[in-house]
Amino acid sequence: MAIRINKKNKEFHLYNDQVSYIFRVLEKCGQLEQVYYGKKVHHRSSFKHLIEREPHTASCNMFEHDDTSSLEFIKQEYPSYGTTDFRSPAYAIINRNGSHVTNFQYIGYRLFQGKRKLTQLPATYVEEYSEADTLEITLYDYVLQAKLIVSYTIYNRRNVITRHVTFVNEGRESFYIDTAMSASVDFPDDVYEMVYLNGAWGREAHIQTVPLAKGVQSIASARGASSHQFNPFLALKRPETTEHSGEVYGFSLVYSGNFLAQAEVDSFHTTRVMLGINPFQFKWKLAQGEIFQTPECVMVYSDRGLNGMSQTYHDLYRKRLVRGYWRDQNRPILINNWEATYFNFTEDSILKIAKEAQRLGIELFVLDDGWFGKRNNAKSSLGDWYVNKEKLPNGIKGLSEKITALGMKFGLWFEPEMVCKDSRLYERHPDWVLSTPNRPMSHGRNQYVLDFSREEVVETIFNLMCKVIDDAQISYIKWDMNRNITEAYSLGLSNKRQGELFHRYILGVYKLYEKLIERFPEILFESCASGGGRFDPGLLYYAPQTWTSDDTDAIERLYIQYGTSLVYPINSMGSHVSAVPNHQIGRITPLETRANVAYFGTFGYELDVTTLSDTEKQQVKQQIEFFKKKSRLISTGTFYRLVNPKDNDHSAWMIVSENQNEAIVGYYRILVKPNDGYRRIKLDGLHPNKRYAVSGKEGHYYGSELMNIGLILNNNHDVRNKQKPKDFSSELFIITEIH
């Protein structure tokens, strides 16, 4: 058991070899006090000696004759509003009388091996009971007659604790949940930097690192999707923490909708971190007998730097979040026709690309947007999931059969959540669109958002999609989503329940995914939202890979993939080689560099391979052969970020096999300098005592040399040496153990 309980003092210690998490019940008020979270400490029968209590001038106190009972000075686990703590609460409830004050008090706990599923929500899981232990703390509010269950799971062999809460209305009257965070942790000091991912379309997931300041610092989405702008993740790291060493606490929310992640530093240098559904535009009516469960927050503590945190997330999300047939399989090398043809294709032109792709060794052909209704541009037809016979006279069935006959798999694009005004679906059901009555309706890319909070909408789209899939030979689906929600209002919900819409919408998305996966368990799903507008753990539960960004420029991708790797496994990141000049940014990069970046993801191509020269085709063929040989290592190895492109004119990362007998280093020159000095890159993750051969270099190197002295790069750009690197050049180093 990794959870020890002192029943008398009501203390709880969750621990494994790496991490300790200690909290207790406050004697008088019955709320939960946070005692310690961090590197494993010795278990003791009681941790009472760690309790800090002193009177504080100008504080409000809960109990008479007790000037130490101010919750403002007590570190907490799931803080409430309105009773002496003036910081942000983890939850807020509106009572029937309009008051926001609650009094949830501890009534008991449940401890069990394993981990239970969440209702309707994605979450990490276990395969054996012995992998994790779960503790559920129940608090009760006697006025509301409601339960609050705070759940914790600790994985025995991972530095991971997951949290979520459940509200149960056991009374006769309804109340409203106004805020319900998934987790809240109070840290005793504020000497941290907050690390998070920020971006926009075409430049997602750039790493931001800012020192904590007094007050609230937060990232959030109110767009109806986790967003391009901010990822549902934040970390607190010590200022001295690097990629390779030092303490860091990661918080990742398994959710795809509106979220809030914040760190609040009070005037007493306590830091409160919380993550959950964004309280803005959220209000959930909980009627008699109803239950509300928050999404899961996955907390990782690492004392091995940011790479240590990321590796924990990668392994957990790869093995215990992603599910199903594709979880442990090598993903097929795909070619997507989007950048090759956009909307302008016929069966013939598609088959030409597919045939060439097959000759080059590509395994899966993906037909993107434009195959349905009368969609020849982005103005019409979303919602009409019937094939366009003018473009594809033999239907998706005919095309998929022809592609399958080539020896390739076939994949298809859908954008299930959207509708265009110019569509049969909209003509029939204009009321299925999210819009506020008597107000103008904004569009995004000429499309409108279907009301996925309504069951009949989800059911209709499911049936339309099934018809297409049942009829053809489809092995892969790209599920796109290209706009955020405006004028949020559902005609399917009463006015009192409009605050539930954003969450119910995402539950509808999850439901459709679940239904499709159940019906087609062997289809590989790739989620997409104009690139990485919904790259989050929630969707990874359903779709094992995500289109990381519409930006396929190799140099911009360095920043995007470097940042995305903070949380997400390499084999979840869709990454393709595309044409130059790059369609998003106009940059010209060598074909070699485009592949050297795209290898570190789910590798594929997104260009018209028929237009390549013979030399380029030969190069592509070799790239594919190389990736096939290395794909196991790339998808299952341990990923290390080595040099951040953000502050440098070069960048590097590497993957090491589990048994440390093989590694691949990707090294990228962004801009070269004249008359540059020598450069070395210190590698990581190798076995110090093993001897390795390094491709392109003579002799052998000990792991200890490569990690401590570094890999010496002969990369001065000099006119007398034509082989030396140019702007946007790159090199892969294959490192192999010598026996």
**DSSP label at 332?**
P
Per the annotation, the verdict on 67 as an active-site residue is no
Q: Where are the alpha helices (DSSP H) in 637-721?
A: 703-708
Compute the least distance from the CB of residue 552 to ligand DGJ, in Å.
9
Stretch that binds ligand DGJ, among 69-77, 177-185, 379-387, 526-534 (CB under 6 A): 526-534
Distances (CA, A) of 130 to 39, 62, 126, 133, 155: 22, 41, 8, 7, 9
Per the annotation, the verdict on 550 as an active-site residue is yes
Other C-beta atoms within 10 Å of 476: how many?
Answer: 24
Residues 6+ apart with CB under 8 A from 218: 260, 261, 262, 263
Six-digit token string for 518: 């159940």
* Of the candidate residues 243, 296, 550, 553, the single one contacting ligand DGJ (CB under 6 A): 550
Compute the least distance from the CB of residue 201 to ligand DGJ, in Å.
9
- Diameter over CA atoms, the chain: 87
Other C-beta atoms within 10 Å of 28: how many?
Answer: 11
Question: In angstroms, rounded to a whole number, what is the distance separating the alpha carbons of residues 575 and 557?
Answer: 8
> Of residues 464-483, which lie at the interface with ligand DGJ (CB under 6 A)?
480, 482
Q: Does 530 interact with ligand DGJ (rule: CB under 6 A)?
A: yes
In 556-677, DSSP assigns E strands to 573-578, 602-606, 638-643, 650-656, 662-669
The whole-angstrom distance between residue 479's C-alpha and the CA centroid of its chain comes to 16
Q: Does 553 interact with ligand DGJ (rule: CB under 6 A)?
A: no
Query: How many residues in the shown chain lie near ligand DGJ by CB under 6 A?
Result: 11
Burial profile 220-245: b = 16 or more Cβ within 10 angstroms, e = fewer: bbbbbbbbbbbbbbbbbbbeebebbb
* Cis amide leading into 581 (omega within 30): yes
Compute the least distance from the CB of residue 344 to ligand DGJ, in Å.
13
Q: Which is nearer to ligand DGJ, 482 or 486 (CB)?
A: 482
Compute the least distance from the CB of residue 375 to ligand DGJ, in Å.
9
Compute the least distance from the CB of residue 540 to ligand DGJ, in Å.
17
Q: Which is nearer to ligand DGJ, 261 or 528 (CB)?
A: 528
Strand partners of residue 532? 529
Q: Which is nearer to ligand DGJ, 89 or 531 (CB)?
A: 531
Q: Does 531 interact with ligand DGJ (rule: CB under 6 A)?
A: yes
Determine contact, residues 563/206, Cβ cutoff 8 Å: yes
**Residue 152 DSSP SS3:** strand
Stretch that binds ligand DGJ, among 80-88, 167-175, 524-532, 689-697 (CB under 6 A): 524-532
Q: Does 338 interact with ligand DGJ (rule: CB under 6 A)?
A: yes
Q: Which is nearer to ligand DGJ, 550 or 684 (CB)?
A: 550
Compute the least distance from the CB of residue 483 to ligand DGJ, in Å.
10
Phi first, then psi, for residue 413 (nearest 5°) are -95, 140
Compute the least distance from the CB of residue 479 to ligand DGJ, in Å.
10
Of the candidates 303, 368, 550, 551, the residue annotated as catalytic is 550
Question: In angstroms, rounded to a whole number, what is the distance separating the alpha carbons of residues 135 and 429?
Answer: 46
Distances (CA, A) of 567 to 312, 527, 572, 648, 723: 9, 17, 10, 22, 36
Stretch that binds ligand DGJ, among 523-531, 552-560, 639-647, 730-738 (CB under 6 A): 523-531
* Of the candidate residues 368, 500, 592, 662, the single one contacting ligand DGJ (CB under 6 A): 368
* Of the candidate residues 72, 190, 369, 592, the single one contacting ligand DGJ (CB under 6 A): 369
Q: Which is nearer to ligand DGJ, 87 or 409 (CB)?
A: 409
Q: Does 564 interact with ligand DGJ (rule: CB under 6 A)?
A: no
Q: Does 510 interact with ligand DGJ (rule: CB under 6 A)?
A: no
Q: Does 547 interact with ligand DGJ (rule: CB under 6 A)?
A: yes
> Of residues 401-430, which lie at the interface with ligand DGJ (CB under 6 A)?
413
Compute the least distance from the CB of residue 602 to ligand DGJ, in Å.
14
Stretch that binds ligand DGJ, among 45-53, 121-129, 527-535, 562-570 (CB under 6 A): 527-535
Q: Which is nearer to ligand DGJ, 319 or 583 (CB)?
A: 583
Q: Which is nearer to ligand DGJ, 482 or 729 (CB)?
A: 482
Question: In angstroms, rounded to a whole number, what is the distance separating the alpha carbons of residues 37 and 159?
Answer: 11
Q: Does 385 interact with ligand DGJ (rule: CB under 6 A)?
A: no
DSSP string, 269-298: S-EEEEEEE-STT--EEE-TT-EEEPPEEE
Tokens 């929630």, residue located: 538
Q: Which is nearer to ligand DGJ, 256 or 530 (CB)?
A: 530
Compute the least distance from the CB of residue 224 to ligand DGJ, in Å.
17
Q: Which is nearer to ligand DGJ, 418 or 506 (CB)?
A: 418
Determine contact, residues 665/730, Cβ cutoff 8 Å: no
Of the candidates 186, 480, 608, 684, the residue annotated as catalytic is 480
Residues known to be catalytic? 480, 550
Instruction: List residues binding ligand DGJ (CB under 6 A).
Output: 338, 368-369, 413, 480, 482, 528, 530-531, 547, 550
